[in-house]
Structure 1
Amino acid sequence: MTHLQSLKKIGITGQNGFVGQHLYNTLGLFPEEFERVDFQKDFFESPEALDHFVKQCDVIVHLAAMNRHESQEVIYQTNVDLAQRLAASLERTSSKAHVLFSSSSQEERDNLYGKSKKEGREILAKWAKENGGKFTGMIIPNVFGPFGQPNYNSFIATFCHKLTHGETPTIDNDGEVKLIYINELVKTIIDEIRSGETKEELVIPHTSVNKVSEVLEKLNDYKAKYFEGGEIPELKTAFDYNLFNTFRCYFDIKNHYPVKFTQHTDPRGAFVEVIRLGIGGQCSFSTTVPGITRGNHYHTRKIERFAVIKGKALIQLRKIGTDKVLDFYLDGNEPAYVDMPIWYTHNIKNIGEEELFTIFWINEAYDPADADTYFEEV
């Protein structure tokens, strides 16, 4: 078997949704193991297009679903119909793909969304049993993370959006919520793809339990300290890190950066505080000669600040999977910084005629064995 043939071909229905986007992008970090088969929403409208997609896949992760609609009946019918159409295509094409289905911890609740997910899981499990296919039915708790849609994917997405856009979040029901961070869920899905085992009812455990009011209290703290004051807050737990990285992705980045430092000058020169920390990390500086560009990489977990203190720089950011490039012009005469959101590839270029001096801070010391640094041109 050649190297190329050994790639697992993976298709994701709902590829452009919250979980789908993260899974698609993360699979792209393993080009020697996985090949991604692109999926378009309208494939479900054409049996020929759906069959063509299914035929190409060794693995299909079925995420496409409706979460919100004014009619519960429409949600129910849509989700069951999508599962039926996929099962019919799998049967028509005599597919032997490993199908992974994302169901919900709401399966056991008395609502039509939960019922639709349970029935969808049963439809695809039945296909696998009758046709010698492999099936994993994942029962997933509440998911949060960067780029979730406010008022749709999770209350955390709604809170983050409101706090960074001049609105005040309100709590409808201050219950305890079982949560999993999107990176943790994606890792679990990829582990299941690698194992290739049939598991009709795989309950994916939550990784934290939080009261809604406690989450809002943390986010209000991030807003006051970080969004308004530029301070990296104290982050004690994995949940804190994940919540903070989620919060950072809801800024109107283009209008937020660059943030001007407060510069204190006297006859001796100038003093500028670059970063105030509730956590540690690694601080470094670089000099860059005119015309040179550094960076062109992104991180999936690291928190990073670029501070220009001398010379002229262009800092560019682009969210992975999109084409829009954000340009920030910084000048050491007015020292300023830009923080790098996760999943944004970034670079810095000396556009002046003198050496550029930049201070870099990152929240963890560099580890070559786990660098969380992926190269991609902005």
Structure 2
Amino acid sequence: MKVLLTGAGGFLGWHTRVRLAALTDHEVVAVDRESFGRLTELAQGCDAVLHVAGVNRASDEEVERGNVELAEAVAEAVRGSGSIHTIVYANTVHAEADSPYGRGKSRATEELGASRAKVVDVRLPNLFGEHGRPGYNSFVATFAHAVARDQAPKSVQDKEIGLLHVQDAAQVLIDALATDQAELAPEPHPTSVQEVLDKLVSFRETYRTGDIPALPTDFDVNLFNTLRAALFPQAYPIQLTPHSDDRGRLVETVRSHGGQGQTFVSTTRCGITRGEHYHLGKIERFVVLGGRARISLRRVFHDDVIDFEVDGANPVAIDMPTMWVHNITNVGDTDLLTQFWTHTLFDPAAPDTFWEPVRQDAS
């Protein structure tokens, strides 16, 4: 299927694009703010639209009218395409609210219906996840950014709230491409504002020395991955403390406070690169124990590459953020000895490993 994805450069749009690339064979036409003016042209030959673009922060008039205008443009492009049969709309549970945002999103649904395509209205709750913009996408992004910089707010206005990880929201949107239902409403995880802050602060304190906090639920894993994204790259590498005596040296490479995990050790010959993949949810740690290496990372659908030069004589831990392509190269003149750790046991049926080169010009 050829899918037109609006809002591809935004928080939910980027996560949806990553998930489409990782888990489907759909051809994706990514539309961001710069290319939205070419929407009618880009819609030609597409089979469906994932309409994720929206206006969340602006004046009341701009929020209300902006969401309607985006939907009008999508409907016009769909009519002009002659091929698009389905529109999946990333709507909100707040669409029924008598507010500029609620009214705008509700009217947008009506405008999309005028396209003559089938519209699947996906009512999303509050979202959180990696690379949310603090002060914009969610309070979780704001808290994670602050906690990562040891600037946690002293007090908060607490209330009960439901949260959905943005990758789970992306999966609902993808599933909606093939649904017979007119409306979908994924169930959020029940929590509170104070509980989220308390968890983030606790995670940060445990992780400060490289220890992995207890992560008993998927929500905890997703919240920890959100914090790790806010910490990257300034909090890495994590310095480890070797313990030496006349017998030799001992290095505690992973201390996990609960849950399961898997550890393996590899040797890598001079000049050889391992990796060239990314993960959607897996926590993975690299520790070089012998030799010299370059660990390189690039966020999916971005260009900048971050390099860490590491040496087994000074062992450090570098944890791979989710949805960042990564590799490790032996840049020394001896075999490289590396320990790898993941927070889950490897499952061949769901490996959560998606191949892509770190450097775009790599063959």
Residue equivalent to 2:241: 262
- Amino acid of the residue matched to residue 213 of structure 2? P
- SS of corresponding position for 1:61: strand
In the alignment, residue 31 of structure 2 is paired with which amino acid? F
> Does the 8 Å CA contact 1:87/1:127 hold for their aligned counterparts?
yes
The aligned residue for residue 230 of structure 1 is 210
Residues in 1 aligned to 2:95 and 2:168: alpha-carbon distance in whole angstroms: 21
Q: Specify the alignment match of 2:193 in structure 1.
A: 212
- Contact map agreement 1:107 1:115 (CA 8 A) in 2: yes
Deviation of 1:269 (Å):
1.7
Deviation at 1:19, TM superposition (A): 0.7
Match of 2:76 in 1: 88
The match for 1:142 among 100, 104, 126 is 126
User: Is it true that 1:173 corresponds to 2:173 in the alignment?
Assistant: no
Provide the secondary structure at the position in 2 that maps to 1:216: helix
Task: Letter of the 1:372 partner, please give it.
Answer: D
Q: Tell me whether 1:192 sits opposite 2:154 in the alignment.
A: no
- Call closer, same or farther: CA 1:289–1:93 in 2, change over 3 Å: closer
Task: For residue 245 of structure 1, report the CA deviation from its aligned partner.
Answer: 1.2
> Is the 2:209–2:238 Cα contact (8 Å) retained in structure 1?
no
State the SS of the aligned residue for 2:302: coil
| Alignment match of 1:15 (pick from 8, 15, 20) | 8
Check conservation: 2:172, 2:186, Cα contact below 8 A: no
* Rounded Cα–Cα distance in structure 1 between residues aligned with 2:84 and 2:336: 57
Q: Residue by residue, what CA displacement relative to the aligned partner does 1:194-252 show, whole Å, maximum 9, x if unpaired?
A: 33x351xx2412231111001111000111011x1211111111111111111111114
- More off after superposition, 166-175 vs 136-145: 166-175
C-alpha distance in structure 2 between counterparts of 1:96 and 1:349, whole Å = 45
The unaligned stretches of length 5 or more in structure 2 are: 359-363
Aligned to 2:274: 294
Q: For 2:82 and 2:27, locate their aligned partners in 1 and report how far apart those are by CA, in whole Å.
A: 21
- The alpha carbon displacement at 1:141 in A equals 0.6
* 1:151 aligned partner, one-letter code: G
**Cross-structure match for 1:65:** 54
Contact 1:297 1:376 in 2 (8 A): yes
SS at match of 2:275: strand
Contact 1:135/1:198 (CA < 8 Å) preserved in 2? no
2 CA distance for matches of 1:42 and 1:359?
A: 43
- Give the aligned length: 357
Identity of aligned residues (%): 38
Alignment of 1:309-348 (within 5 A): 309-348=289-328
Alpha-carbon contact 1:37-1:56 (below 8 Å) kept: no
The structural deviation recorded for 1:169 is: 2.7
- The secondary structure found in structure 2 opposite 1:38 is strand
What's the Cα RMSD here? 1.6
Which residue identity does 1:273 align to in structure 2?
E
For normalisation by structure 1, the TM-score amounts to 0.90
Q: State whether structure 2 residue 20 is matched by structure 1 residue 27.
A: yes
Q: Distance in 1 between matches of 2:245 and 2:270?
A: 29
Tell me, yes or no, if the aligned pair for 1:295 and 1:348 is still in contact at 8 Å.
yes
Distance 1:55 1:177 in 2: 41
Give the equivalent residue in structure 2 for 1:122.
110
Q: Which of 304, 307, 322 is residue 287 of structure 2 equivalent to?
A: 307
DSSP-derived class of the 1:346 partner: strand
DSSP 3-state at the match of 1:127: coil
2:98 to 110, 113, 116: 110
Which residue of 261, 264, 284 maps to 1:281? 261
Taking the aligned partners of 1:104 and 1:135, their CA distance within structure 2 comes to 15
Deviation at 1:374, TM superposition (A): 0.9
Letter in 2 for 1:248: R
Aligned amino acid, residue 108 of structure 1: E
Q: Tell me the TM-score normalized by structure 2.
A: 0.94
The whole-number CA distance in structure 1 between the counterparts of 2:66 and 2:128 is 23
Structure 1 192/170 Cα, relative in aligned 2: closer, same or farther at 3 Å?
farther
Letter in 1 for 2:176: E
**1:44–1:82 Cα contact (<8 Å) kept:** no
Residues 134 and 198 of structure 1 are in contact (CA less than 8 Å); yes or no, is this contact kept in structure 2?
no
Q: Which residue of 1 aligns with 2:361?
A: none
1:42 CA displacement: 4.1
Change (3 A) 1:164 1:248: same
Instruction: Answer yes or no: is the 8 Å Cα contact 2:240–2:317 preserved in 1.
Output: yes
Q: Which amino acid aligns with 2:335?
A: E
- Shift in alpha-carbon separation, 1:171–1:122, aligned structure 2, 3 A: farther
Q: Does 1:154 align with 2:138?
A: yes
Moved more, 154-163 or 267-276: 267-276
Q: Is the 8 A contact 2:49 2:84 kept in 1?
A: no
In structure 1, the partner of 2:250 is 271
2-structure distance, mates of 1:262, 1:43: 50
Q: CA deviation at 1:127?
A: 3.0
Relative distance call for 1:355 and 1:90 in structure 2 (3 A) is: closer
**In 2, Cα distance between equivalents of 1:166 and 1:292:** 38
Is this contact kept in 2: 1:55–1:93, CA < 8 A?
Answer: yes
Amino acid corresponding to residue 55 of structure 2 in structure 1: M
Q: 1:38 aligns with which of 14, 30, 33?
A: 30
C-alpha separation in 2, matches of 1:91 and 1:375: 37
